[in-house]
Structure 1
Amino acid sequence: MNRSRRLAAHAALWGFVAAAAFCGARPGAVSSGFSHRSHPLAWLGAGGMPEATVFNLAGFVIPGLLAAVALWSLRSALPAQARWSARIGAQLTMLSALAFAAQGLLPLDLEDPDGAANAAHGLAWTLWWSTFAVGGLALGLGSRRASALRPGFAAAAVVAAIAIPALALLAPIWWPNAFSQRAAFVLWFVWVAWAAGAANRASVSGPGSSPTAER
């Protein structure tokens, strides 16, 4: 089961990359004016775009659900010496995966930029990065003494929790928003794969080997 969750994390990453590359290169997307240089990926799943449903499923829903599967065991894999905040953080990171998947269920509406559809998609996107930011910080800071996890796990969680919202919100000030959004998504998937590997290692090592938990 642990190995399957790790495989789910890698499938989520490469499935997302393949969906973005394949759907973005389709003649229908190109003829509609889509460009990876200037448009957000959600554009491919917007109402009226060719094969929008395919991208929403392959680019958002399925990778997001696979990421949630990969992170499902993270909380239970935390050693007993991990703080309660780390356990809450692990749950929040899994919630971020569900929010990522929700972006495909709440597609954009290019004909009504200020409409309810775009607001709903924006909310899912905001929940994705914000729940991960809070969860990653709590997970990293609360698992600093969790020796059974992969070396550098706590630091990686904190760095990712800061870097991903920074890419999503601040990086567009200096470079194209389309690039920063894609970088944030890929970094998130890479972290999911890293965390799944750490959970697998902790499970093999025997999580909860310490008799007392740090409060």
Structure 2
Amino acid sequence: MRALRYFFAEAFASLWRGRGAALLSILTIAAGLFVLGFFLMVNTNVQRLVGRWGQAAELSVYMREEATPEQTAAVRETLNRSGLATSIQFLSKDDAKTEFSRDFPDLAGAAANLQRNPFPASFEVRLASDAGGAAAAIDALAGSLSELPGVADVRYDRRWLARLNAMIGIVRGMGLVIVLMLALASALTVANVVRLAAAARRDEIEIMQLVGAPFAY
């Protein structure tokens, strides 16, 4: 017990003598652990959010104002034949205006005062949750829909999700580089602190070795 008390007393005294270097090493290690934890937390939450958006991705097909009922039926038939959609909802121009007023109540009055309805009719298509693995098939479907008569535009949510994933990958790589640099800085700082402590007590270590203290001691 006396030896253990002596070891702790000497360790505390040594830390106090080199408190500047010890504080620097502690702060460096703490900064590295904080950045690592923050990076892992943000990465996990962003991946979960992107995955949730991917499951709720939709394909929107906007019709031209002069589209005929036959052209609208052809778009619906193409969507039904694709086998990629779990639900297909057609929104007329009036439905689109009503939905806009519900989503943006502050602008509902302005939309109601318009002389003509500027909102296009559209198909809102909910894709299957496993459709992300059939990206080529979805791209082909979007291309075929955009070529149909009466179709003004086709918007696919997973396209910008793919770009978002690419940006997340870049940020993840930068974060990994920063974490590795902090880990290297922490290791070098600790090594230098230990070396300085050994150099400061070099005479004491040599005397103890002369009186028979082993190197491990």
Q: TM-score range by the shorter chain?
A: under 0.3
More strand by share: 2
Q: Calculate the TM-score normalised by the size of structure 1.
A: 0.26
Q: Calculate the TM-score normalised by the size of structure 2.
A: 0.26
